[in-house]
Structure 1
Amino acid sequence: MTVINKEMLKKILEDVIHLRRQLHRYPELSGEEYETSKVIQSKLTEFGINFKTGYAKTGVLGIIKGSRPGGTVALRADIDALPIQERNQVSFRSQNDGIMHACGHDAHAAMLVGTGYLLNEIKEQLPGTVLLLFQPAEENSPVGGAKPMMEDGVFSHYPPDVIFGQHVWPDLPVGEIGIREGAIMGNSDKFKIKIKGSGGHASMPHQTIDAIIAANQVITALQTIVSRNVDPLDPIVLTIGKIEGGYRHNVIADQVVLEGTVRTFTNDARSQAKERLYSIVHHTVHAMGAEAEVGYFEGYPATINTPKWAQHIKDTAQHVLGEKGTPEVNPSLGGEDFSRFLEKIPGAFFWLGTQIEEKEKQMPLHDPRFQLNERALSIGVELMAQIAVDALFTLERGKKEENENRATTI
């Protein structure tokens, strides 16, 4: 079995860190990753890795062909940033106002470039093909970038047998990963509710229908979906993240807009939450004499790991990191566009521990002070490369066994 060379890993690590910081310094929003894409293409060219472009506008597909025929393994990294103003004071802090890599996609892209370098250096030993997917617009739910890449034919010439992805995870220390069979991340839907009342003077509420009071009742009532409608063993989180309404202190508002998200693991809970949200909103505002318009937008489906390939990641990780490197983890109700790849292709998604040493100062993903421990980058590169290598040989063995069984049957 081919094992990733540690010296080769050390050789590329400085490039990976430099690339991660370069991408962090100049982040770009979903669908606007033009310079990010150019930087990635430049590094692939430098490392002698063939690639194609034009997928979902800014997506890139690196192609590494082994010395002999075999299966096809796809590795994915997302490349877009978030509309967040960075509050860190690091030397490579964002130079693009109001935009930040607060979800680690800079690290994902840099690690995949490093992974590509390692695999390209040993391609003569590999049976089959490895695809490097640099995916835009992961943060742009519900559209995303995975589906547009597939619609643009990213897999037309090289249909993958299996696909893998990783995500930096500040809840896990460096040297550990999170992997599990089945659901690892949830359905992520969003909604927008426009409540219409009748405005007036603050001293004469009897002449109005107060949209803010109606909105208050709706916000409270919606939480009964979680506490009273859905099986408590089938988790759901409903969050109101944005409220807009009112004009000034002495004016009763005639309109309020609420925006929020619903997170679930199962399709049953997802359907039930959606149905109850419509019913609760309309009945509640009707009781207050108001009206409502509800928009409900189904986002990314749950990220469901194929059991075989989740175990594959666990086995490889234990070989690289040791038995303690794969602790038991609970799933997250965060959404992930990688789920759309898994709807079409077997594979698995895992979390890479990136907790900084001063644990009490560790901010979560999407926080303007989010930081990751760069010591984890070498682990992410080695692990992704070894996962791909092991998968190619697993696919090769599976094909041989299939042919032997067929020959025996004949």
Structure 2
Amino acid sequence: MEKNMWKEKVITLRRNLHENPELSEQEFETSKLVQKTLEQAGIPFQTGFAKTGVLGIIEGGKPGGTIALRADMDALPITEKTEIDFQSKNAGVMHACGHDAHTAMLLGTALRLNAEKSSLPGRVLLVFQPAEENSPVGGSGPMLEDGVFDEFKPDVIFGQHVWPNLKIGQIGIRDKEMMGASDSFRMIIKGEGGHASMPHEGKDAIVIAAEFISAVQTIISRNTDPLEAAVITVGTISGGYRYNVIADEVKLEGTVRTYKKEIKELVKRRLVQLIEGFEIAYGISIEYVYTNGYEATVNTPEWATFVRSRVVNMLGKDAAPTVNASLGGEDFSRFLNEIPGAFFWLGCAREGVEVQRPLHDAEFYLNEDCLEIGVDLMMDVAVQALRKLEKGGCSDQ
């Protein structure tokens, strides 16, 4: 397939997927499109992983190692507010995190690799993963549990994610932490109600909640090393009945973001101690649930260095700027817990736009010029990784 042909194919696939987004664990039509595209190209595939997951298999013409390339497929429960011609047709559902682009780019990479498979020294696995947004369950863990790599175990795995903070032609890659651990907590502060004019006869759950929200920030500011990344955010608060009634109950929901496991455990422990302290201080009870989410996404240094070298070789030295890690969660971490590899960001900023809309925003819209670069990079990384494995590089890292 000539370059202009597969380029148009990828754009068409991406726009089709964008128009027809599906939520986590509901990617049935998306999965069918992936399967149809692989079938038409003569690429064998397996299904039955995490409900809608697909594993494509490209066998090279020469013996060698096995690499995996991953793309996530699910969308978000967001009502799209862009003005593009191929806006979401599914009310309240939007590809606001670029998973449509990820899936289309991996399909484009598959078509190109398949056309050159006779020269490949090894095997390429194409991992189309559902439910990345469905924390804490996710889709990578269930795919592993369903045996996605039972028959073919990768020596290395790669994943890329569009990134609006980077310009077209820039790739973000770090040797270690890329994304954070994403835990969550839910609390119900149980006070005692009463009349607003007689606060001494009740235990105002709203006042207690307000103080708790302020106090919880001291866990970060006064318990963790300032040089270690950690965030606690209370994202929702609800309670009360009306203006003249003391609230007997307030519900809070929040998230804890960290990189290092020891920092995560410290924050979790102090959060529980703070809850217990408030119970004693105010003579109330607080019900809480702390949920461990995705672990931090930490690259294998050797393979991150490899990807950076491919970026520089393909796009020039300025294409791999120094980037800070993100505390956003990503369940590619579960693949990296099992398999060496690297996760990297693909610049997709829109030119001439002063304020780039972030991921998970109703107005997020990526620059489609990134699609060609993403396919070229995944193609290059796949081929060169197989050649590196053929020479014995990084396979035991």
Task: State the TM-score, normalizing by the size of structure 1.
Answer: 0.94
Aligned equivalent of 2:11: 17
Contact 1:77/1:112 (<8 A) preserved: yes
Q: Secondary structure at the match of 1:155?
A: coil
- Name the structure 2 match of 1:146: 140
Q: What is the distance in 1 between the residues matched to 2:71 and 2:205?
A: 44
1:111 to 105, 111, 116: 105
Q: Does 1:360 align with 2:320?
A: no
What is the distance in 2 between the residues matched to 1:331 and 1:122? 35
Q: Which of 272, 285, 288 is the aligned partner of 2:266? A: 272
Residue matched to 2:305: 311
Q: How does 1:71-110 map to 2 (within 5 A)?
A: 71-110=65-104
Picking from 114, 121, 128, the partner of 1:134 is 128
Deviates more, 1:131-140 or 1:92-101: 92-101
Contact 1:9–1:378 (Cα < 8 Å) also in 2: no
TM alignment of 1:144-223, pairs within 5 A? 144-223=138-217
Q: Could you report, residue by residue, the CA deviation over 1:147-178 in whole angstroms, capped at 9, with x for unpaired residues?
A: 11011110011100000000000000000000
Q: Which amino acid aligns with 2:141?
A: K
Partner residue in 2 for 1:291: 285
Summarize the alignment of residues 224-239 of structure 1 with structure 2, pairs less than 5 Å apart.
Answer: 224-239=218-233
- CA shift, 1:15, in A, is 1.1
1:30 corresponds in structure 2 to 24
- Output the amino acid matched with 1:310: A
SS of aligned partner of 1:355:
coil
Choose from 223, 244, 252 the match for 1:250. Answer: 244
Unaligned 5+ segments in structure 1 are 1-6, 403-410
Instruction: Look up the equivalent residue of 2:220 and give its one-letter code.
Output: V
Q: Answer yes or no: is the 8 Å Cα contact 1:214–1:290 preserved in 2.
A: no
Worse-matched range after superposition: 276-285 or 237-246: 276-285
Give, in whole Å, the separation in 2 of the partners of 1:46 and 1:318.
34
Query: RMSD value over aligned CA atoms?
Result: 1.4
8 A Cα contact 1:185 1:331, kept in partner = yes
Residue-by-residue CA offset, 1:311-364 (whole Å, 9 max, x unaligned): 110111111111111011111111110000000000000000000113323111
Q: Deviations over 1:196-236 (max 9, x none)?
A: 01112222212211111111011000000110000011110
- Among 368, 375, 379, which residue is 2:373 paired with? 379
Distance (Å, rounded) in 2 between the aligned partners of 1:285 and 1:170:
44
Which one-letter code corresponds to 1:365 in the other structure?
L
Whole-Å Cα distance in 2 between the matches of residues 131 and 30 of structure 1? 22
Q: How far apart in 1 are the matches of 2:265 and 2:353?
A: 38
- In structure 2, the gaps of 5 or more residues are none
* Secondary structure in 2 matching 1:173: coil
How far apart in 2 are the matches of 1:181 and 1:373?
26
1:285 Cα deviation from its structure 2 partner: 4.0
Tell me the matched-pair count. Answer: 395
What is the Cα deviation at residue 69 of structure 1? 1.2
Contact 1:77 1:108 in 2 (8 A): yes
- Tell whether the 8 Å contact from 1:201 to 1:252 is kept in structure 2 after alignment: yes
- Structure 1 residue 286 displacement after superposition: 3.1
Structure 1 CA distance for aligned equivalents of residues 367 and 279 of structure 2: 48
Which residue number corresponds to residue 282 of structure 1? 276
* Aligned 8 A contact 1:36 1:79 in 2: yes
Q: Which amino acid aligns with 1:336?
A: E
**TM-score relative to the length of structure 2:** 0.97
Q: Deviations over 1:242-266 (max 9, x none)?
A: 1111122222211111111100110
Over the matched positions of the two proteins, sequence identity in percent amounts to 58
The amino acid of 2:274's aligned partner reads: I
